[in-house]
Structure 1
Amino acid sequence: MKTYEALRIKNNLLDFSSIQVETYKMIIEHEDLKRELLDKIKYVMVDEYQDTNHIQEKLSLLLSSKSNNICVVGDDDQAIYRFRGATVRNILEFQKHFNNCKKVELVNNYRSNPKIVDFYNNWMKVTEGRDFKFDWDNYRYDKKIVAAKNSDFMHDAVIQLSTKEHDYLCKKVLDFIKTMQNSNKISNLNQIAFLFRSVKNEDVIHLANYLESNGIPVYSPRSNMFFKRHEVQTIVGCLYLLFPDYVRDVQTSEHKFSLYNFLKDCELEAIKILKNNNFSDFQKWFKRILNNLRIFDVALDYAFTGIIFQMLSFEPFSNMVKTDLNKGVYDTRTARNVALLESLIARFEKMNNISVLTKNNAYGYVKKLFGTYFRFLLDGGITEYEDESEYAPSNCVSFMTIHQSKGMEFPIVVIGSQSATPRKQYDENVENIVKEFSGRGQFEDIESTKYFDFWRLFYVAFSRAQSLLVMLCDASKNNEPSKYFERIYKEISYNADFNKFDFENVKPTNLKNSYSFTSDINVYLTCPTQYMFFKELGFEPIRTGSTLFGTIVHQTIEDINKKIIAEEAKDITEEKIKEWLNINYETASKATNSYLGANLLKAGLEQVINYYKRVKDNPNLVSQSELPITLVNGDYVISGKVDLVVNNKGKYQLLDFKTEKKPNLVKDADKINRVKRQLEIYTYLFEKRYGIKVDGMRVYYTGELSSNPFINFKKEDENVKKTIKEFNNVVKNIENKNFDTKCSDLNVCKNCDFRFYCRRT
């Protein structure tokens, strides 16, 4: 732990746990901050309180310590995240922290068929069977869930789908799904979800592959199938074969590690492409790149991701990323996997500061990429794309872990993993560390936790079902069902009259997407195709140019403005500004793994000091700095960040900083107009959000040192309305997935990674 903490601090990094710990320490150790914060917080509400850990509990209680107005909502029976530090103790002992704590029991279930509710009530109540017995004792609130739905339903809603013939189980599942489809009882395959303890299990993967081969699409992003996908293996294989020296070393190695089998599979997929006469253009390119990488007779301007972007200009790779994003997750999986692979390799290049391959560095980087990085990724597994706005993608059955399904609901739920047994989840060393750092000992009986966690896990699984709960069992196995499910199978039938059911559609999530002018609208207006690849599919750009200079100048100007706002302008000196800039540079440099020369750092400092000289005589004008604003605008959310709000005796101006020279008012009119529209968006947000009229808009060009650095824009309501209308139209195009139009400006294309794909080289 001490080594980890030292590395984290040295590299200026925060993980999720340390964010919470540092926040808690900051509040506790700074009395003024604590007082100001608690004065502002009147109410605290925490959902899913059973999933909180110790530091989250301490934060919740601290933030509500002055008002004592805190409401927590949770279900101790759904406490299934012990493995990441969550403890059911927080909700079970919550009342002990207060003298007059009111407990409200929410026992009405509006989701499930009454028969299903009775089933999982009974599951939590009966805790003994053949060769096992445990008692909840004080580690559970005694409760009985009541079904709010019509209790007159007299038909079986919990059934088993089982067979004693192992090879027949997959067909039986397929027949079940087909029956649902053919009877028109379901209108979409996403009404069916399969839940397992793990979706990486060989039997689960075999079932998914069987269904897909028989025309039933399966959505299973966490099944560890990423590196088994054809598109991934083909691209990795081609990349691998471009470095024959490394291929020979792998093949002659005495250590046939797991990576060897993966690379062999990739090699076979690549050879199919290299021997297929339909791909002659790609084969010619491959030979040329192979020769370049062998003798390095020309200076290369690319590394691994550069090779992939070139590869995408040829079939079959170009077809892999040609996709209709309106078709949903399953149909776009290939394109998204290609994007994910490229982004993973881009991350490798960033971590190792790789920009180009040379004769001196190529072999070392190849060995590190395949021998270390890919082996690490293979061992850990990679999750495929998950759409947060669509938890049950249309026209697919979902294969999920039980943990993944928490908080969701489906009309039909099929429960697998019936050979599962309670297993020890704790480690004595970890328990000792937790005790040392948290200052409190074990809560539940340590030997009983495996039973508690097992019962809670399957309670969560059973309670996902709305209308029909199906227990999937391969009875040909001696251990299935395990003794912990034996009682269940004695009580449920094999059949159900599906004609008696009315299965609801999966409920839409109704999440509103957020859009900003700079990262969405401006990008789309520049090139809709580029927006699709980078923003929608998730490719990682490599030809972005350095933003480090702009970042540190922006941050240091923000440091100045915040000192002024805090009425500490007297503390600002040129030496202090230099110190801030160096700190900002050191932090940003570590984060981006990029660097600036001494001349650029000197230029940045000069720009910041020049800004300070202009503002120091009128510090009272500086009202707010880096003000984030979000606003719900119909079906979506507009977001933006105003660099500076100026308040001149009640007249407000919005100011944006640009770390460049002032553009030519005539030649660069289009560029200036885009900045104007950006400020008009911010004006709209500011006025709507705060009800304060904006009187003017300005841009400050930090690179303009000797003359007037400002461009002023007159704020006209009609122009603001027009800009918002254009914003709405672009958002509509994005949400309708209209990305066919390519950029008409070849100057933009020549710096785009997809210039090969679009044939703009």
Structure 2
Amino acid sequence: MENLNERQKEVVNQIDGPVLVIAGPGSGKTKTMIERVAHILNQKEVEPENILLATFTEKASKELISRISKKIKNTMDISGMYIGTIHSICLRIIDENLEYSFLEKNYKIFDDLEQRFFIYSKIKEFEKIEGYREFILTTESSGAWKKAGEFQKWIDRINEEGLSNKKIVDTTDENIKFLKRLHKRYVELLREENGVDFSNIQLECYRILNENPEVLRKLQEKIKYIMIDEYQDTNKIQEKLFFLIAGDRKNICVVGDDDQGIYRFRGATVRNILEFQKNFKEGECKKVELNINYRSNQDIIEFCENWMEGTNWDNWRYKKEIISGREDINQCSGVVKISVNGSQRQWNEKIYKFISYLKASRKIDDYNQIAFLFRSFKDSKIKYLVEYLERNGIKVYCPRSGNFFERDEIRFVIGFLLCIFHQGKDYLLEQYYNECYIYARKEIVLDEEAVEYIKDIREKITDMVENENSQEKIGSFLDIFYNLFNFKCFLKYINLFEEDILQNRTTYNLGIFSDILLKFDILCKIKDINRENLKKVSDYFFNYHLKYLKEIKLHEYESEETPKGAVSFLTIHQAKGLEFPIVIIGSLDNEPHVFDTPQKKLEFEILEEFEPKSKVDIYDFYRLYYTGFSRAKNLLALTCIESQGDYKVPKSIFKKVYDELNDIRSENFKYHRLEIDKIDESKRKDIFSFTSHIALYEKCPLLYNFFRKYKFVEKSTREAIVGVLAHDTLEYINKNLKRNNLITVEEIKEEYYKNYNNILRQNTIKIDEKIISKLLENIIKYFTEYKNITSFIKENEIKISFIRDNYIIEGIADLVLEKDGEIEIIDFKTGRVTQDISSYEAQLRIYAYLIGEKYKKSVKRARLFYINEREDRKLLEIDISQEAITETIKNFDIVTNKILNNYFNTEELKKERCENCFLRKYCEKTL
């Protein structure tokens, strides 16, 4: 802990009891949290599973896991730690206690868009609810899609607030009564679908623990230390959940900054951090303020503080005295303005010249040292600025501009689909569709193979329409999309080797589009488009589905790291948690608006707000821009086109801080004294899994690139569905046997078919009944005849992590047995015994190594259990000698280094593997 300051050390050493950490921008909170976890693990000899560490983003979670792994012994398995986003931790708790949940195995998790489509599909159910018409009159929603969005907002609000809120429980307001009925019916429909949305995840987790004392007791015994990052962004139900798990120990440490509470629109309440200490007896909760900002120069810090003092907070904020931990190396002002009192063109030119001069004078090495932050991208001036910079050779990274459907690669795919489906339809009357069709057709007519493919499908469609006995089928939308990889006219948009995100965002965006098509196919339960579903499916896809997606303005692919070679254009919300040497803040024509609408009043009725209603929008406005300003390390600039006349820019709320700033062209701005930091290289370890990463790469490096790097979706296969079904049912059997619960063959059959039906909800493939029956027969045989296994179960479905210097491998061991003090591991397979089982062998060797470390005794035997093989071939023993394990680890290092170094050469592959691969023609035409 020698690199920590005194207050950081205080946080690390204060292990027991409640702790509130107010961590200002750049105060090293992540480092402090990592050291605190390492201290608990290394010095207190606590097991990883005794710690819960919640973050707000997947990126932050990965960084924490990576950096913690560097602080502990490689033999320590941190996979048991409850670490991740709040939603992922809640999902883990639900999965561990699924028998107490309304959910069943293979439940569906709806993302925001899928949730809205689900509500849209059930809109007639909600129209039947008492009070529906009266409620709709208070909204501006017309049409089923907009109503679905309105209902989604209120359902999430109730989930986030919790139904125990007295304002909701004891209400006399007719609109809130309707929303309670709406929420109740919505949850019923979710359960029928075996689904859950993001806001419902935490509510269901809380319900399981709150209604099942024994489950709660066991979790409280296990989790002894709780740490929550970004506590100002938590909502009411999350806080209740954390306190429930903490129990009487009260070992809960929360870290955050009330000045950066900017997610009220997602249900977060800054009240949680401002009133955290009031949950305990006076003097019981220790408060520590991390007040040294190691990110920003002192003048940037002072500017941020002056901004926050621009309104009267009336004790609705912690007063802070933040100082810089940096040497003031600039010797010049670190806060300026870049503005013009003129035209858009003059503004564009001034910004362009400033950036160009920074690069030409070598003040910056890379454009990614600069970030422009805006409140949103609705302002056309931003779009024109981006276009101007790119025309003049400065690349711009702007993934949330909402231009996904304007991208050429997306217009081409939609146009290709229209070439197939438009005949006899009026789709092309829509201007956007007509433009896509014309754009794609120009390319397609030059590709004979693509033309023949379209003709063939159109002939099949004609047969479907004209022949009532037609048996023709053309696959799903995703099938058609993957057939595009056979055609030259499409391949110009695909490059599976280009590492630069900006150079290759076409490939990344097409990966996103593949996910859109898969979700559509599953939503409409399409395995094949045929005579029966052709009209309904194609009309819904073009007339509704794509239009709705276009309306909500999907984002392009977004990298976890800021791409090199480009200036970043981000929203302030998007930039939360990031830092840049130079930050340029726009959107100075914004101001807080206090709306007194029926919807706003209703929101205050539901949410337990405690700030004055008249101040909420003002406070949120100040917090938002403070968050943006505080991203800057060396230079902060405010920018706008100053206006004359009635429309003043910047708005009056910015005037006090803005007018005091020197312009970048001012003599008072000593540019030559400016020193700019380089961008810190990410030191995060990548996390791989045995089957999804290592085995896939060894099968084909190009396929690994396709599915993992560019995130194209994998189509379900019969083999995969059979594997999931077998593992889920075996897990049910083994879990009950471990707990000494008596189960019957009939109960196993019931669980088996329940699992199968739930799997089918999320797939478009059905399995032959003979295969399903035979698999069940073999699973029951395992239960009834393999007492030498089922009588000695120590653990099942154990998550394991293997930590190396530059990567982490994760996996799940199916079964651990213990007999006469000896440990054995078993992994179940549903395929047939083949000669090539090297990936299975490697997997079990690492499992044997890690489980041996976990239980402090060597594993004596590791076997593969082939559930569908004949008796003499069911069990296959694997060599787990020290020599074999050492060789496996060496091979893992080789494979992961290839992945990390972007080595995806396929020359060493056996070509017979390529015969049935859908990328075969892509490889033939491009490699």
TM value normalised by structure 1: 0.91
Partner of 1:469: 636
Change in Cα spacing, 1:114 to 1:49, as seen in structure 2 (3 Å) is same
- Is the contact between residue 340 and residue 642 of structure 2 (CA under 8 Å) also seen in structure 1? yes
User: Whole-Å Cα distance in 2 between the matches of residues 200 and 682 of structure 1?
Assistant: 52
1:411 maps to which of 578, 581, 584: 581
Partner of 1:452: 619
Change in Cα spacing, 1:740 to 1:702, as seen in structure 2 (3 Å) is same
The question of 1:669 aligning with 2:853 is answered: no
User: Whole-Å Cα distance in 2 between the matches of residues 447 and 604 of structure 1?
Assistant: 64
- Is the contact between residue 526 and residue 764 of structure 2 (CA under 8 Å) also seen in structure 1? no
SS in 2 for 1:413: strand
The question of 1:660 aligning with 2:837 is answered: no
1:634 maps to which of 778, 798, 805: 805
User: Whole-Å Cα distance in 1 between the matches of residues 585 and 196 of structure 2?
Assistant: 38
The offset of 1:361, in angstroms, is 3.0
Change in Cα spacing, 1:654 to 1:426, as seen in structure 2 (3 Å) is farther
Partner of 1:146: 323
Aligned counterparts, 1:185-334, within 5 A: 185-245=363-423, 248-251=425-428, 260-274=430-444, 279-295=447-463, 299-326=472-499, 328-334=500-506
Per-residue CA deviation, residues 143-197 of structure 1 (Å, 9 max, x unaligned), is 2322222358542211111112222111211111101100100001110000000
The offset of 1:600, in angstroms, is 3.5
- Is the contact between residue 38 and residue 63 of structure 1 (CA under 8 Å) also seen in structure 2? yes
- Is the contact between residue 543 and residue 752 of structure 1 (CA under 8 Å) also seen in structure 2? no
Partner of 2:675: 502
User: Whole-Å Cα distance in 2 between the matches of residues 271 and 591 of structure 1?
Assistant: 34
2:661 maps to which of 481, 484, 492: 492
SS in 1 for 2:663: coil
Partner of 2:227: 45
The question of 1:421 aligning with 2:556 is answered: no
- Is the contact between residue 38 and residue 66 of structure 1 (CA under 8 Å) also seen in structure 2? no
Change in Cα spacing, 1:717 to 1:380, as seen in structure 2 (3 Å) is same
The question of 1:518 aligning with 2:691 is answered: yes
The question of 1:722 aligning with 2:910 is answered: no
Aligned counterparts, 1:89-128, within 5 A: 89-99=271-281, 100-127=284-311
Aligned residues: 729
- Is the contact between residue 508 and residue 710 of structure 2 (CA under 8 Å) also seen in structure 1? yes
Aligned counterparts, 1:584-733, within 5 A: 584-616=755-787, 619-661=790-832, 663=833, 668-670=834-836, 672-704=837-869, 706-707=871-872, 709-733=874-898
For structure 1, list consecutive stretches of 5 or more residues without a partner in the other structure. Answer: 128-134, 253-259
Q: Which moved more, 1:402-411 or 1:290-299?
A: 290-299
Per-residue CA deviation, residues 593-628 of structure 1 (Å, 9 max, x unaligned), is 544454333223211110111334664411110111
User: Whole-Å Cα distance in 1 between the matches of residues 811 and 329 of structure 2?
Assistant: 53
Partner of 1:353: 525
Change in Cα spacing, 1:323 to 1:497, as seen in structure 2 (3 Å) is farther
Per-residue CA deviation, residues 375-405 of structure 1 (Å, 9 max, x unaligned), is 11101121211222x1x11111111100110
User: Whole-Å Cα distance in 2 between the matches of residues 609 and 713 of structure 1?
Assistant: 25
Q: Which moved more, 1:71-80 or 1:262-271?
A: 262-271
Task: Give the superposed CA RMSD.
Answer: 2.4
1:394 maps to which of 553, 557, 564: 564
- Is the contact between residue 200 and residue 224 of structure 1 (CA under 8 Å) also seen in structure 2? no
* Identity fraction in percent: 35
Change in Cα spacing, 1:356 to 1:756, as seen in structure 2 (3 Å) is farther
The question of 1:443 aligning with 2:614 is answered: no
Aligned counterparts, 1:53-92, within 5 A: 53-92=235-274
The offset of 1:717, in angstroms, is 1.2
User: Whole-Å Cα distance in 2 between the matches of residues 654 and 358 of structure 1?
Assistant: 47
The offset of 1:685, in angstroms, is 3.1
The offset of 1:633, in angstroms, is 1.1
1:483 maps to which of 629, 637, 652: 652
The offset of 1:49, in angstroms, is 0.8
2:333 maps to which of 152, 156, 167: 156
User: Whole-Å Cα distance in 2 between the matches of residues 340 and 352 of structure 1?
Assistant: 19
- Is the contact between residue 45 and residue 71 of structure 1 (CA under 8 Å) also seen in structure 2? yes
The offset of 1:632, in angstroms, is 1.7
- Is the contact between residue 525 and residue 763 of structure 2 (CA under 8 Å) also seen in structure 1? no
- Is the contact between residue 718 and residue 767 of structure 2 (CA under 8 Å) also seen in structure 1? no
The offset of 1:592, in angstroms, is 3.0
The offset of 1:413, in angstroms, is 0.3
User: Whole-Å Cα distance in 2 between the matches of residues 339 and 643 of structure 1?
Assistant: 32
SS in 2 for 1:628: strand
The offset of 1:46, in angstroms, is 1.2
Per-residue CA deviation, residues 705-727 of structure 1 (Å, 9 max, x unaligned), is 55452111232211111112111
Per-residue CA deviation, residues 66-122 of structure 1 (Å, 9 max, x unaligned), is 212221111111010000110010011111111111211222211111111111100
SS in 1 for 2:808: strand
SS in 2 for 1:140: coil
- Is the contact between residue 553 and residue 607 of structure 1 (CA under 8 Å) also seen in structure 2? no
Q: Which moved more, 1:349-358 or 1:524-533?
A: 349-358
The offset of 1:280, in angstroms, is 5.0
Partner of 2:352: 174
User: Whole-Å Cα distance in 1 between the matches of residues 193 and 403 of structure 2?
Assistant: 33
SS in 2 for 1:112: coil
Q: Which moved more, 1:196-205 or 1:287-296?
A: 287-296
Per-residue CA deviation, residues 116-153 of structure 1 (Å, 9 max, x unaligned), is 111110000122xxxxxxx3113111223222223585
Partner of 1:752: 917
Partner of 2:108: none
SS in 1 for 2:583: strand
Change in Cα spacing, 1:722 to 1:154, as seen in structure 2 (3 Å) is closer
Which amino acid in structure 1 is aligned with residue 313 of structure 2?
W
- Is the contact between residue 51 and residue 81 of structure 1 (CA under 8 Å) also seen in structure 2? yes
Partner of 1:372: 544
User: Whole-Å Cα distance in 1 between the matches of residues 596 and 581 of structure 2?
Assistant: 35
User: Whole-Å Cα distance in 2 between the matches of residues 360 and 745 of structure 1?
Assistant: 42
User: Whole-Å Cα distance in 2 between the matches of residues 359 and 744 of structure 1?
Assistant: 41
User: Whole-Å Cα distance in 2 between the matches of residues 563 and 41 of structure 1?
Assistant: 23
User: Whole-Å Cα distance in 2 between the matches of residues 249 and 84 of structure 1?
Assistant: 39
- Is the contact between residue 368 and residue 563 of structure 2 (CA under 8 Å) also seen in structure 1? yes
- Is the contact between residue 411 and residue 503 of structure 1 (CA under 8 Å) also seen in structure 2? yes
TM value normalised by structure 2: 0.75
User: Whole-Å Cα distance in 2 between the matches of residues 35 and 219 of structure 1?
Assistant: 49
Partner of 2:148: none
SS in 2 for 1:91: helix
Change in Cα spacing, 1:601 to 1:432, as seen in structure 2 (3 Å) is farther
- Is the contact between residue 640 and residue 650 of structure 2 (CA under 8 Å) also seen in structure 1? yes
Partner of 2:66: none
User: Whole-Å Cα distance in 2 between the matches of residues 586 and 287 of structure 1?
Assistant: 37
